A and B are shown apart, each in its own frame.
Chain A
């Protein structure tokens, strides 16, 4: 196995969820260099598998006052500092016939206690705002919930950090083991999954932002003090926007009781089930049916709606005793692992999308203090630059650009979501760009000279290989009604045209991409989705033969084919 050049940095961050991306930018704003690694890619875990709900905090007023207040504060900050990632939809909490009148009555006061603006509406007012609401709605409250695009957010954070001080992000890079000496982590040995090559990353501090995998990462450092339980949540994607507001059920948190309109779709969910293994979760037909049923109590049209995907992710919850997972704290914890005899390792875990900035800030405070860097974090005041990195993740942005540009020489490759060829080229260029390193300004907070030297020796983003998954993560490609069936083929052809694919590996990548998209489609294939998929399969398998790329199936050399007598032999009917 070959070795990639060693990287040296001040801080290694393990886990490319929104928290890890947040730590990366927070440190960069303090002038601290970091390397962020993820075994898959940005937002591959819970960060990319949630409602995209920027909580007002109202969801938690009855179960966790502290979390509610944190949400309210972070919601206000993010709207102001990263408006390009937020859609200020507002939120409704609606009760239907049979819901607990006592809870309905208490709710406004609970919100007030957390400082959350809560406007009480009658059923008619609520239905005027959201015509799809059930005639059985009996009460409603309006709160400042919003929709947030976690992919755009993470991409913009990583991009900003790269541009601030040349911090590095490595996708498909998994931590194998730590090299430890004298009560410290000295380096991390990683494997780059696309090539199988290994790489050593030397760092002075290590931040474990592994989300549901944080317990495993901590154990690699010999720490037994991270105690998580895994709550599987399943969500459905409806292919259109069914409401203008986030719609929550006005009752204590339960299954299938939130609908979040975001971009061109709506997300509906979730369920909560305890699981043992964060790597093996998939939606079940029962969960899907339950979510649709519960959602339809608020919005009856959800019963017959078209769903394009379902997905499950694992929420890491801090271990607590005697409470249900719904009631368990959605708060977060920063563990400094001093009790484990380690002075340069910390774990930031628990929490939720809405509070990621605060989590990142507390982790960065600890790291900066340990590095002897005094300056405070500035993420509560510094706006997030409205950059290009995440602009193709936004459905509105894509449509806007398509209409405003409408260039004859720039065909739309993804017709569901209006992604033009130039967007693909732009994303590929971003993925392949060497990490830019601005001339280091002198002054406190800059990396030490030795670190700079190491950096400039290895400035290129290693490999920089492009694949359809990476493009889909950074754009709306594959997110529309066709779910990649047609745009996947077109984008793959374009990658061949541009010379990014040069051999059969491109088709294998196309197949991997389609197989991956299918995992999300599989639980919700009925109605029009079944028709769509039948056509897609006829093209992908019947014509293109993606179901047998490795088979020795070369009609030009029939001598190698199996004897006809075997035909039809092996089958499972």
Chain B
């Protein structure tokens, strides 16, 4: 606790030097953020994730400092954090989520096919016949009839037998539990994995072997199974004024946000395609 408080104090002078700092008058404003302490590329306790960076950018814009409540993004995350009043802002949630109010989206990404470049598989669509001969890695959630959309798309095409399931909620003692599936492609455990873009982009860059990322097609499978999601920050229902503030900060900081997303290799479908996805 003391260590964390010291860390916060240490950040103060830096934040005060931000370009739009309005925080001359003490006490300084605090932006209370809830995030997962062990989930790169999104966030971690060392504040190394892209959502840490964007949250801090927004805080700087508002002349505030970020104070985190760390909570694993598992079942009950919104209930126990934002909606329990532990914080006011959750960065990085799908814009269509109903558990909180969404700000305007600040990026749009897609599920991608991840393959080893040396395999030359060039998969572009769930309908590519080559998939019938391959081991396909997908992530599974495990309850509420809910799973990431690739699992459904493949099952519907009669490919359930080709699927290897990796748990989104994998062993939480390991760093960044959802990252395991990208490693599985590099190690050849599966021929192809279908992974959420930001996750794939970040870990593909750190992979020992070259990996190709290709946004999946179709973008929306019948009858309604989207693979493309807009990403927003979440605020509590009813926090109208606060949401408007965050919205304006996101607009003002658009260029800097884009640079952060590029830095993390996030494949995007909003006009700025990440470098990995272009290859």
Do chains A and B interact in one complex?
A: no
B-to-A contact residues, CB < 8 Å: none
